[in-house]
Amino acid sequence: MVQQSEYIWFDGELVPWEQANVHVLTHALHYGTGVFEGIRAYECTDGSSEVFRLKEHMVRLLDSAKILGIKVPYSLEELVQATDETLKANKLKGAYVRPLVFVGDGAMGVHPGNNPIRVCIATWPWGAYLGDEALEKGIRVRCSSYTRHHVNVMMTKAKACGNYVNSVLAKTEAVADGYDEAILLDTTGHVAEGSGENIFMVKDEVLYTPHLSQVLGGLTRDSVIQLASDLGYEVREMAIGRDMLYTADEVFFTGTAAELTPIREIDRRQVGEGKAGDVTKALQTEFFKILKGENEDYEHWLHRYSVD
């Protein structure tokens, strides 16, 4: 359950959580005409707070809206400032941040007409998406019977609300079958991503991940690629077959919500030693140091804010 905060930023002003409502004939509710982001804020070791790669996330939000033909009535700078305002109003030193841009009510039909564009930013406390133990012990996943969208069926580079029905089906199927998460294959049969995460595998200390053309480019994915390279690991972007995952030494998910979560089992096959491997642990350790503000080399990824 979402832990309720006091305020949500909605169309330019802070409103009480329970008053951030929309009409039942909101266009996005019926047709999925909206875009969103998932962003994390962390309390740092020194007591300060930061939002991880906030500007880049908001750039992607605006890009997603452009792909869908949605004209956002706020600038990048205004969205960044609104995030600060919301975190401060809710007195959150660490939080999950959910910006949402969507087509409001008015015309009802597939064409949105001149319906208003609504924008909100919600923030609330949130722990590990796949469970605290998952970061150490790893999770069980299955390859889904659902295929990830083809690039000319849905706009796969947009983090669009409607796209995620595909993810909901895959995740629901996986959980119903006793797994924690799903891996979706693309229309060529190669590994694409999780229902809300990017995926990496490790073989002989080399990292492999699906090429950017096959997936939604995650900010955490990009961060891990840069971090791994800085730590001296080779990273290869390439087409990955599911059989390659079965014989990998390590496999892990990355994402804003999932952070860096190891996978211990795929389709009832144990991955490596059945727990977080050495490369995964090394990346986890350094990644969380960055998130906690303990590595000045990556300070440019941190958007500092204060709730005092």
Phi, psi of 174 (to 5 degrees): -60, -45
Look at residue 272 and give its three-state secondary structure.
coil
| pLDDT at res. 129 | 57
Look at residue 10 and give its three-state secondary structure.
strand
One pLDDT digit (tens) per residue for the chain, 308 residues? 789 999 999 999 999 999 999 999 999 999 999 999 999 999 999 999 999 999 999 999 999 999 999 999 999 999 999 999 999 999 999 999 999 999 999 999 999 999 999 999 999 998 765 666 788 899 999 999 999 999 888 889 999 999 999 999 999 999 999 999 999 999 999 999 999 999 999 999 999 999 998 899 999 999 999 999 999 999 999 999 999 999 999 999 999 999 999 999 999 999 999 999 999 999 999 999 999 999 999 999 999 999 98
| pLDDT at res. 192 | 97
203 given a catalytic annotation: no
| pLDDT at res. 128 | 61
| pLDDT at res. 12 | 97
For residues 251 and 254, what is the distance between their CA atoms, to the nearest angstrom?
10
| pLDDT at res. 131 | 63
- Give the angle subtended at the CA of 306 by the CAs of 122 and 131, to the nearest 5°: 50
| pLDDT at res. 97 | 98
DSSP secondary structure code for residue 129 in this structure? T
Secondary structure in 3-state letters for 82-127: HHHHHHHHCCCCCEEEEEEEEECCCCCCCCCCCCCEEEEEEEECCC
Question: Which one, of 77, 57, 49, 58, lies nearest residue 223 by Cα?
Answer: 57
Burial classification of residue 279, based on how many CB atoms lie within 10 Å of its CB (0-12 exposed, 13-18 middle, 19 or more buried): buried
The CA dihedral of 165, 184, 280, 51, to the nearest 10 degrees, is -20
Q: What is the pTM of this model?
A: 0.95
CB 202 within 8 Å of CB 250: yes
Catalytic pick from 55, 159, 171, 289? 159
